[in-house]
Amino acid sequence: MSSTIEKVVTVQNPMGIHMRPADLLSRAAGRFQCQIEIEKDGQAIDCKSIMSILTLGARQGSQLSLRACGVDAQEAIDALSELFNQGFDESDSEVASPGRP
């Protein structure tokens, strides 16, 4: 019997969860067999669906619950939480206004 693994993560990247981070999350989640959900403000979505991830409207500072249930749940939570910890490899310089060096 598989247990459910849960971890709370914080969106750290300046632009929040937009198309690129949503794509990274859904692709990473797709590598695992377990069922993975992300919950924000009581709304739980399938982490393997890029469109569902975008519906969360998760901005910088948002706290999300990652939940996984299945044979590789711990590995999935570790991999996904690492994406959040790294800010999806985005930096403040990427959100600088156009024309600025």
Active-site amino acid positions: 18
Question: Which residue(s) pair with 66 in the sheet?
Answer: 7, 38
DSSP letter at 31? T
Question: Which residue(s) pair with 46 in the sheet?
Answer: 37
Ranges of H-type helices in 19-98: 19-30, 50-55, 73-85
